[in-house]
């Protein structure tokens, strides 16, 4: 029977002689690890579980983009650009038809409207005689809400 088990399991058979001094002089060497007995009750064996994952709550992508834009200051620029568009549409009404053709709203930054004059002579005339009236009408107009000052400069 011992010979028949060797024939069925070729891995158990040794290809070489037993080492000298071994207790079973003619027995084959084992090349594979000994199998552990099966466990019926696994309740006493510790389980190597992964640590619980801490995940952030799901946030819409648009909120993330808006947060990044605010951090970069783009949000304020977009808001200022929208305000400038509204002011440019209302500019002829506020400045009057004659001054609206001579002055052009350029930019709106930190509640200050920058307006361009065509030349230095008009710049001087508007600053000296007409700027306070334009500012008063602009501050009363709903499109210019939050306006602190109008600054005129030459092109």
For residue range 48-90, what is the model confidence (pLDDT) as tens digits?
A: 666 677 777 888 888 888 888 888 877 677 777 888 889 999 9
pLDDT higher than 60, residue 17: no
- Share of residues in the chain with pLDDT > 90 (%): 39
Most confident of 3-7, 47-51, 73-77, 129-133: 129-133
CA atoms within 13 A on the CB side of 86: 14
Q: Which residues contact 69 (CB under 8 A, 6 or more apart)?
A: 75, 78
The domain total for the chain is 1
- Domain range for 145 is 63-154
d(CA 99, CA 89): 14
Residue 10's pLDDT is what?
53
Residue 9's pLDDT is what?
54
**Residue 71: alpha-carbon gap to chain centroid:** 10
To the nearest 10 degrees (0 to 180), the angle between helices 74-95 and 61-72 is: 70
What CATH number did the domain enclosing 118 receive? 3.30.300
pTM: 0.53
Q: What is the mean pLDDT of residues 114-138?
A: 94
Residue 47's pLDDT is what?
65
pLDDT higher than 70, residue 45: no
Domain assignment present for 23: no
Domain assignment present for 13: no
Domain assignment present for 46: no
pLDDT higher than 90, residue 38: no
Residue 61's pLDDT is what?
84
Phi, psi at 36, each rounded to 5°: -80, 150
Domain assignment present for 9: no
Domain assignment present for 144: yes
Domain assignment present for 18: no
Domain assignment present for 130: yes
pLDDT higher than 80, residue 94: yes
């Amino acid at each position: 029977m011992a010979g028949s088990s060797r024939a069925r399991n070729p891995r158990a058979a040794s290809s070489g002689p037993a080492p000298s001094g071994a207790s079973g002089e003619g027995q084959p060497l084992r090349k594979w690890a000994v199998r552990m007995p099966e466990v019926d009750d696994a309740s006493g064996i510790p389980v190597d579980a992964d640590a619980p994952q801490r995940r952030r709550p799901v946030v819409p992508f648009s909120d993330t983009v808006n947060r990044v834009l605010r951090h970069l200051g783009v949000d304020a620029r977009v808001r200022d650009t929208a305000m400038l568009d509204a002011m440019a549409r209302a500019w002829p009404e506020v400045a009057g038809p004659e001054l609206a053709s001579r002055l052009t709203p350029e930019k709106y930054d930190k509640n200050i409207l920058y307006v361009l004059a065509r030349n230095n002579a008009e710049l001087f005339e508007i600053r000296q005689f007409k700027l306070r009236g334009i500012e008063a009408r602009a501050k009363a107009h709903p499109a210019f809400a939050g306006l602190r000052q109008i600054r005129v400069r030459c092109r």
